[in-house]
Amino acid sequence: MTTYTDKGEKHEQGRFLCFDHLTFWVGNAKQAASYYCNKLGFEPLAYRGLETGSREVVSHAVKQGKVKNDQSLQPGKMGEHLVKHGDGVKDIAFTVEDCDFLVEKARERGAVIVKEPHTLEDKYGKVRLAVLQTYGDTTHTFVERAGYSGSFLPGFHPPLFKDPLLAKLPSGKLNFIDHVVGNQPDDEMVPVVDWYQKNLLFHRFWSVDDKQLQTEFSALRSIVVANYEETVKMPINEPAMGNRKSQIQEYVEYYGGPGVQHIAMNTSDIITAIRNLKERGMEFMSVPDTYYNQLRENLKNSKVKVLEDVDVLQELKILVDYDDNGYLLQIFTKPVQDRPTVFLEVIQRHNHQGFGAGNFKSLFEAIEADQNARGNLTVLTPNGISKNM
C-alpha cells in the first residue's frame, strides 16, 4: 500500500469543491428513485418530466444529507446504453468554482468536451454547467452554482408525490459521498489515472497492487486519485491475473466495459445506520465469524482503540481497518440491480483516510462467494480465458 504526499500542480484558478450528485441511467426512473428512498432513506428532492413540460427527459432527484442522486430516463439516448450496461451511473457531477476556466484548461490538455459550458436559469438563479467524457461511457458534469437557491437544478420542480411510508421508516443516517470507484478492464487503470492527472490536475492519493490485494482465486490493483484539496476521491480499479475470474472482470463483462463499481457514503454512526438500513430491507454482504475472531486478536497488539463494541460489529457484519493513527468502519451492499455491477458502501472514518485495504481479502472472499453462487467464479487458463470447470 502506498500513500502519496505530492499533490502536484494546483489550478491557477477554479477549484473542484466536492461531489455534487450522481446521475443514474435506468429503465424505470420512478421505481429506481422509490428503491433508494425506501431502502436507503433518501427523500424525494425534485422532478422533471411530462407534467413539468419536459418532453424527452424524466428525472427523479433524491437526497439524503449531502448525497444527491438523479435517476434519469432519456428515451431517445438511453436505449443502446441500457442494452449494453443495464442500470448504472452515467454521470459523476462535481461542484466547481469557475466552470469555464476548468473546462478550457481540460480542453487544452486533450479532454473531450461532451457539452460546452452553458447556463441554466430559473427564478432561483443561474447554474453554469459543462460535461466532459471520462472512462468508458461515463461522464463528468461540472456544476457552478454561484448562489443558486433552488432545491436542485433549473428545470426541476418539487416532487409530484411523497410516499407517506417514508416518514414511518428509520433514518438512513448517510451524510455525503465519500468516494466513487471506477472499474476498468485489464491494463486500462493507469491510462485512466493519467487522464485525471493530466486533464483535471488530480493527483495520486493512495494505491495498492495485486500482491497486496489477492485471495486464493483472484486479485486486483487500485489507484486513488483526488483533487488538490482532497475533497473528491476516485479509486480506479483493474483486475489482475488469478486462478479464477476476478470480481472486477465480472463487473466489466456484465457492464459491457468500464464504469462505476460502487459509491461509498459517509456516516457518523454506522451501527445505527446499518441497523436502520437492514430494518428497511437493505441487503449487505456477509463476513464469516472467523474474521472477527482474528480482529479481536489483532487489536490486542494495536496502538489504536476501536470505540465500538466488536460484538455489535460482528452482529452487523461491519468491517474494521486500522493503522497506528486511527481506523475506519465499512460495509458493502449486494448489487442493487440484477446485473452484478453497481453496489454501495457505508463508511465511518475515525482519523483514517484509507480505503479498507486490510479488509480487501475478506471483502473479496465475500464477493467471490456470491460470484460463485452466480456461476461466475470460473477457472482461467494461463491466458486469462474462462474454461469449463
262 assigned binding-site residue: yes
Q: Sort residue 85 into left (φ over 0), alpha (ψ -120 to 50) or beta.
A: alpha
- Tell me the residue type at 187: D
3-state helix, strand and coil shares in percent for the chain, rounded to the nearest 5: 25, 35, 40
DSSP state of 260: E
- Spatial neighbors of 192 by CB under 8 A, at least 6 apart, are 134, 135, 182, 184, 236, 258
Distance CA 258, CA 107 (A): 22
21 assigned binding-site residue: no
User: From the centroid of its chain, how far is CA 67?
Assistant: 11
- Nearest CA among 255, 235, 238, 264 for reference residue 343: 264
User: Phi and psi (nearest 5°) for 128?
Assistant: -100, 130
H or E element at residue 85 = helix 75-85
- Tell me the residue type at 218: S
Longest Cα–Cα distance of the chain, Å, equals: 63
- Spatial neighbors of 78 by CB under 8 A, at least 6 apart, are 25
Distance CA 298, CA 275 (A): 26
User: What is the arrangement of strands in the sheet containing 43-48, beginning at the earlier edge strand?
Assistant: 43-48, 58-64, 67-73, 15-25, 88-97, 139-144, 125-133, 113-122
Distance CA 90, CA 260 (A): 8
97 assigned binding-site residue: no
At 21 the three-state DSSP class reads strand
Distance CA 317, CA 278 (A): 11
Distance CA 182, CA 341 (A): 11
Distance CA 277, CA 370 (A): 20
- Nearest CA among 335, 260, 255 for reference residue 86: 255
Which residues belong to the annotated binding site for Fe cation?
A: 179, 262, 345
Which residues belong to the annotated binding site?
A: 179, 262, 345
